[in-house]
C-alpha cells in the first residue's frame, strides 16, 4: 500500500470516527423512533456549544427611581436562569455624605437584590460613588471599586468612572486595566462594564488609553448613566449605552431609547450577542441608533405645538401649527373632547405632513346658547403623531393631550432678543402662523385693528416699548405682546497702570452650596495671580472651595457684547461692578449668557466661583462688534 493511499485511508477513518462520535454525543441527549430516511426536522445541529453562555445586565435603578421596577426585573430574570447578572451602576440614590443614610440605602438595595438566584456583579455609578464617604462605604461592603474576572475564557473588565474628581479614570486604575489587558492576551473576547459612557465624554478621561491598548483584540463595551439606550459602533466594536431598569425616564418608547429593560447576552464564537428584554417583550439591539435619534428629535419637536388663540366677541379661533423637520412623513391624528360652552366647527383631524413641511389647523368656535361666558373651561385635544412602522416592529410615535386655554394668547411671537442698544437697533419679529398680520404701536397704547402692520425690520433710535397684536382678515385678534428696547450709554473704559496678563485671585475653603459673599469671608487660604481660569490649578483639594478673581477685560471696539459664562459648580460675572451673568448654584457644567454695553478699552471684571463636588470648570467667552465667540483675555 502506497503512502498516499495510507494517508487517504487514515483521513477516511478519522472522518468516520468524528462523525460517529458526534452522532453518539448527539444521541445521548436526543433520541427518536422515526425510521424513515427523511426526517420531520432539519439537519442543523443542536445549539449546545458548552463554551457558550448567557447572562443578564441590569441598568440604572436610580436617578429618580420608580418604586418596584428593579425588583420586578430581578423576579423576571430568575425565570430566565442566566449564569450570572452584570450591572452598569446607579444602584442607590446616594449623593449624600450622611453615613447612616448611605448605609440605609445600601441595606435597602441588598434586600431588593437578595431574591436574585444567581451571582450579581456590582459596578459603581455616580449615585453610588460620588464622594469620599460613599467610596469608603463601597469598599467596606464590596471591596474593590474596579476589578476583573475571567469566565469561560472571556475577560470581564469592571471600571469605576468616578475614580477621582469628575468623570474619569484615575492613574492607578488605568495602570491596573492596562496591566490586566497585557496579561490576558489569549482570551477569546473582552467585555468592559462601566457607568458613564466614557467614549462620549472626549479623550481626556483615560478611556482612550484603554481602548488603544485593545487595538489588537475583539471587545464589547457596556455603560449606562444617560437613561437612554443607544448602540454605537466605534473602532469596529460594539458600544452599548443601556436604558433604565427603574431609573427616571419619560418612557417614550424604544425608538426614543427610553424603556425599562434587561440586557440578555449570549456569548458565542462570534462574540456576545445582545437583545433587550423589555418588561413587556423582546427588543432588537439596534432599535435606537444615530439615525433613529435624529428622527426621534424631529418627532419630539413636531409635538411642540404652537397654539394661538384669537377672539372676536364671544367667538374663538384656534390656530395650531404642525411642523415636520424630518426627512420622513409624519402622520397626525387628533380629536377634540366635548366642551359644554363652545361648539367647534370641526372636531376630528387626520393628515400627513410631508418631509420638511408645515401645516396649520384652524378651529373656529362659537358659544353654545346666547348667554355671555365670563370664564372659559379649557378645550382639550387628544392627539397622536408618528412615523410609519414595519409590521410587528415597535411603534415610532408619540401621543398625549393638548390643553388649549381659550383666553386670547400670543404664543409663537419671537422678537430680536438683544434688547439694549447704543445708537440704533434693527428689530425683527416673526411668528409661525399663516394668513396672520402683526399690528403694532410704539406710543404706549395697545394696538387696534387699524394699527400699522409691523414691517420685516423696524429701526429704533430711542428707548421704545413695542406692543404687538396678531390679527386675521375676519377681525379676530390675539392678546397684546409687549417688548421693551432700551437705549443706553456704554460703560466708560478705565486705564490701569502697567497692566499685566492674568487675574488676581483669593482662595477660600468651605462647604459652599452657592456663590458666597466674599466680603464676609476672612482669612483666605491663599492668593495670587492666575493666567487662566482653571480652578483645578488653584484648589488645594478636590472639592469644597471658592475663588474670587479680579482684574480687567479688554474689548476692541465700543458696542454691545455678549458674555458666556460656563461653570461647574456656580459662578457670577461682574463687569464694571454690574452683574452681567448669574450662573449660581450647585450644578453640572452649564453655560449662561448676558449682555453689556462697553466702550473701547479695558473694564473692571470680577468672577466669583465656588466648587461643591464632582468637577471643576470655569470658562468665560465673549462675542460682539465683529468678534466671533472666543475666550476672554484678562489683565491685572
pLDDT in tens, 145-173: 999 999 999 999 999 999 876 668 989 99
Within a domain: residue 15? no
**DSSP 3-state of 99:** helix
Beta bridge partners of 542: none
Q: What is the pLDDT of residue 24?
A: 38
Residues 391 and 483 both lie in one domain: no
> What CA–CA distances, in Å, run from 288 to 180, 224, 293, 294, 347?
33, 14, 7, 10, 35
Give the CATH number for residue 82: 3.60.21.10
Within a domain: residue 21? no
Within a domain: residue 294? no
Residue 3 pLDDT class (50, 70, 90 cuts): low
Strands 281-283 and 306-312: unpaired
Residue 372 pLDDT class (50, 70, 90 cuts): low
Within a domain: residue 275? yes
End residue of a domain, out of 433, 457, 487: 487
Q: What angle do CA 63, 109, 226 make, to 5 degrees?
A: 25
CB 521 within 8 A of CB 508: yes
Closest CA to 605 of 627, 581, 584: 581
End residue of a domain, out of 231, 262, 288: 288
Within a domain: residue 520? yes
CB 220 within 8 A of CB 191: yes
Residue 370 has pLDDT above 90, yes or no: no
504 versus 392: the higher-pLDDT residue is: 504
**pLDDT tens sequence across 127-143:** 999 888 999 999 999 99
> What CA–CA distances, in Å, run from 399 to 16, 386, 591, 593?
63, 8, 32, 35
Give the least confident one: 180-189, 386-395, 555-564.
386-395
Residues 169 and 268 both lie in one domain: yes
Residues 226 and 136 both lie in one domain: yes
Distance CA 431, CA 473 (A): 17
H helices of 343-471, where?
Answer: none
Strands 526-530 and 578-583: unpaired
Distance CA 608, CA 538 (A): 14
| Whole-number CA gyration radius for the chain | 33
CB 88 within 8 A of CB 222: yes
Give the domain range for residue 327: 302-404
Residues 278 and 228 both lie in one domain: yes
Residues 152 and 57 both lie in one domain: yes
Stated as kind and residue range, the H or E segment containing 512 is none
Residues 143 and 275 both lie in one domain: yes
What mean pLDDT do residues 522-533 have? 92
Q: What is the pLDDT of residue 373?
A: 63
Number of domains in the chain: 4
596 versus 201: the higher-pLDDT residue is: 596
Residues 392 and 432 both lie in one domain: no
Give the CATH number for residue 613: 2.60.120.380
**DSSP 3-state of 441:** strand
CB 164 within 8 A of CB 129: no
Residue 484 pLDDT class (50, 70, 90 cuts): very high
Residue 87 pLDDT class (50, 70, 90 cuts): very high
Distance CA 533, CA 631 (A): 10
Q: What is the pLDDT of residue 20?
A: 40
Residues 6+ apart with CB under 8 A from 140: none
Distance CA 33, CA 46 (A): 18
Residues 82 and 126 both lie in one domain: yes
Percent of the chain with pLDDT over 90: 81
Q: What is the pLDDT of residue 98?
A: 92
Residues 6+ apart with CB under 8 A from 59: 87, 88, 224, 242, 243, 244, 245, 247, 261, 263
Phi, psi of 352 (to 5 degrees): -120, 135
**DSSP 3-state of 178:** helix
Within a domain: residue 122? yes
Residues 207 and 306 both lie in one domain: no
Number of Cα atoms under 13 Å in the Cβ half of residue 467 = 12
**pLDDT tens sequence across 21-70:** 443 344 478 889 999 999 899 888 888 888 899 999 999 999 988 999 99
Distance CA 528, CA 611 (A): 18
Within a domain: residue 533? yes
Give the CATH number for residue 311: 2.60.40.10
Distance CA 109, CA 128 (A): 11
Q: Which cell numbers in the block locate residue 506?
A: 483669593
Residue 308 has pLDDT above 80, yes or no: yes
**pLDDT tens sequence across 6-29:** 545 444 444 444 444 443 344 478
What's the maximum distance between 2 C-alpha atoms anywhere in the chain? Answer: 117
Percent of the chain with pLDDT over 70: 94
Phi, psi of 252 (to 5 degrees): -80, 0
pTM score, whole prediction? 0.77
Would the CA dihedral through 454, 459, 461, 463 be positive or negative?
positive
Q: What is the pLDDT of residue 168?
A: 81
Q: What is the pLDDT of residue 164?
A: 72
Q: What is the pLDDT of residue 7?
A: 45
Q: What is the pLDDT of residue 5?
A: 53
CB 185 within 8 A of CB 178: no
Distance CA 562, CA 596 (A): 7
Stated as kind and residue range, the H or E segment containing 334 is strand 330-336
**pLDDT tens sequence across 170-192:** 899 999 999 999 999 999 999 99
Place of cell 457644567: 589
Residues 78 and 223 both lie in one domain: yes
Give the CATH number for residue 457: 2.60.40
Distance CA 223, CA 199 (A): 10
What mean pLDDT do residues 449-462 have? 94
- Exposed e or buried b per residue across 211-226, where buried means at least 16 C-beta atoms within 10 angstroms of its C-beta: bebbeebebbbbbbbb
Q: What is the pLDDT of residue 201?
A: 82
According to DSSP, residue 87 is labeled E
**pLDDT tens sequence across 582-615:** 999 999 899 999 999 999 999 999 999 999 988 8
**Count of CB atoms situated within 10 Å of the CB of 39:** 10
**DSSP 3-state of 146:** coil
Within a domain: residue 314? yes
Closest CA to 522 of 504, 530, 510, 535: 510
End residue of a domain, out of 356, 382, 404: 404
Phi, psi of 329 (to 5 degrees): -75, 135
Residue 420 has pLDDT above 80, yes or no: yes
Phi, psi of 24 (to 5 degrees): -65, -40
Place of cell 473602532: 235
Residues 188 and 238 both lie in one domain: yes
CB 560 within 8 A of CB 596: yes
**Burial class of 497 by CB neighbour count within 10 A (0 to 12, 13 to 18, 19+):** exposed
Residues 273 and 252 both lie in one domain: yes
Distance CA 502, CA 550 (A): 9
What mean pLDDT do residues 315-328 have? 95
Amino acid at each position: 500500500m502506497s503512502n498516499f493511499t495510507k494517508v487517504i485511508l487514515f483521513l477516511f477513518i478519522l472522518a468516520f470516527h468524528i462523525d460517529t462520535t458526534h452522532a453518539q454525543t448527539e444521541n445521548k441527549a436526543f433520541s427518536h423512533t422515526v425510521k424513515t430516511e427523511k426526517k420531520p426536522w432539519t439537519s442543523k445541529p443542536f445549539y449546545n456549544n458548552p463554551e457558550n453562555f448567557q447572562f443578564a445586565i441590569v441598568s440604572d435603578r436610580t436617578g429618580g427611581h420608580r418604586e418596584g421596577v428593579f425588583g420586578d426585573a430581578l423576579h423576571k430574570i430568575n425565570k430566565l436562569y442566566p449564569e450570572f447578572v452584570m450591572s452598569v451602576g446607579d444602584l442607590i440614590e446616594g449623593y449624600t455624605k450622611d453615613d447612616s443614610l448611605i448605609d440605609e440605602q445600601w441595606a435597602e438595595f441588598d434586600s431588593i437584590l437578595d431574591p436574585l438566584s444567581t451571582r450579581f456583579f456590582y459596578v459603581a455609578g455616580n449615585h453610588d460613588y460620588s464622594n469620599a464617604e460613599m467610596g469608603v462605604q463601597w469598599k467596606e461592603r464590596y471591596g474593590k471599586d474596579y476589578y476583573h474576572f475571567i469566565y469561560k475564557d472571556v475577560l470581564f473588565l469592571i471600571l469605576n468612572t468616578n475614580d477621582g474628581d469628575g468623570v474619569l479614570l484615575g492613574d492607578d486604575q488605568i495602570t491596573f486595566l492596562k496591566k490586566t489587558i497585557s496579561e490576558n492576551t489569549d482570551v477569546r473576547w473582552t467585555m468592559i462594564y462601566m457607568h458613564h459612557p466614557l467614549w462620549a465624554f472626549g479623550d481626556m478621561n483615560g478611556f482612550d488609553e484603554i481602548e488603544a491598548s485593545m487595538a489588537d483584540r475583539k471587545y464589547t463595551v457596556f455603560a449606562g448613566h444617560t437613561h437612554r439606550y443607544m448602540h454605537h459602533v466605534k473602532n469596529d466594536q460594539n458600544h452599548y449605552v443601556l436604558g433604565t431598569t427603574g431609573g427616571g425616564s419619560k418612557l417614550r418608547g424604544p425608538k426614543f431609547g427610553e424603556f425599562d429593560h434587561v440586557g440578555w447576552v449570549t456569548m458565542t464564537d462570534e462574540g456576545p450577542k445582545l437583545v433587550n428584554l423589555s418588561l413587556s417583550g423582546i427588543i432588537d439591539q439596534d432599535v435606537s441608533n444615530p439615525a433613529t435619534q435624529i428622527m426621534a428629535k424631529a418627532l419630539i419637536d413636531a409635538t411642540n405645538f404652537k397654539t394661538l388663540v384669537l377672539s372676536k366677541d364671544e367667538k374663538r379661533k384656534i390656530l395650531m401649527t404642525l411642523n415636520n423637520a424630518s426627512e420622513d412623513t409624519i402622520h397626525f391624528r387628533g380629536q377634540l373632547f366635548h366642551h359644554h360652552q363652545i361648539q367647534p366647527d370641526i372636531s376630528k383631524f387626520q393628515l400627513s405632513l410631508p418631509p420638511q413641511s408645515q401645516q396649520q389647523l384652524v378651529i373656529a368656535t362659537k358659544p353654545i346658547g346666547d348667554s355671555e361666558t365670563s370664564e372659559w373651561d379649557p378645550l382639550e385635544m387628544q392627539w397622536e403623531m408618528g412615523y410609519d412602522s414595519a409590521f410587528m416592529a415597535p411603534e415610532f410615535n408619540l401621543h398625549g393631550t393638548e390643553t388649549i386655554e381659550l383666553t386670547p394668547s400670543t404664543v409663537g411671537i419671537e422678537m430680536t432678543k438683544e434688547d439694549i442698544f447704543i445708537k440704533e437697533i434693527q428689530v425683527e419679529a416673526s411668528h409661525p402662523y399663516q394668513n396672520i398680520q402683526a399690528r403694532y404701536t410704539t406710543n404706549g397704547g395697545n394696538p387696534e385693528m387699524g394699527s400699522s402692520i409691523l414691517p420685516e425690520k423696524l429701526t429704533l433710535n430711542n428707548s421704545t416699548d413695542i406692543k404687538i397684536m396678531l390679527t386675521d382678515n375676519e377681525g379676530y385678534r390675539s392678546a397684546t405682546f409687549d417688548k421693551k428696547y432700551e437705549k443706553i450709554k456704554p460703560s466708560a473704559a478705565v486705564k490701569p497702570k502697567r497692566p499685566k496678563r492674568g487675574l488676581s485671585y483669593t482662595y477660600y475653603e468651605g462647604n459652599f452650596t452657592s456663590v458666597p459673599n466674599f466680603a464676609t469671608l476672612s482669612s483666605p487660604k491663599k492668593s495670587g495671580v492666575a493666567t487662566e481660569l482653571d480652578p483645578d490649578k488653584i484648589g488645594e483639594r478636590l472639592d469644597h472651595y471658592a475663588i474670587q478673581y479680579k482684574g480687567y477685560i479688554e474689548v476692541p471696539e465700543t458696542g454691545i457684547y455678549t458674555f458666556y459664562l460656563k461653570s461647574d459648580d456656580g459662578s457670577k460675572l461682574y463687569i464694571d461692578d454690574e452683574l452681567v451673568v448669574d450662573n449660581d448654584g450647585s450644578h453640572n457644567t452649564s453655560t449662561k449668557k448676558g449682555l453689556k454695553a462697553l466702550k473701547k478699552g479695558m473694564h473692571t471684571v470680577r468672577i466669583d466661583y465656588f466648587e461643591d463636588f464632582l468637577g471643576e470648570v470655569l470658562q468665560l467667552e465673549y462675542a460682539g462688534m465683529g468678534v466671533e465667540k472666543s475666550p476672554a483675555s484678562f489683565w491685572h
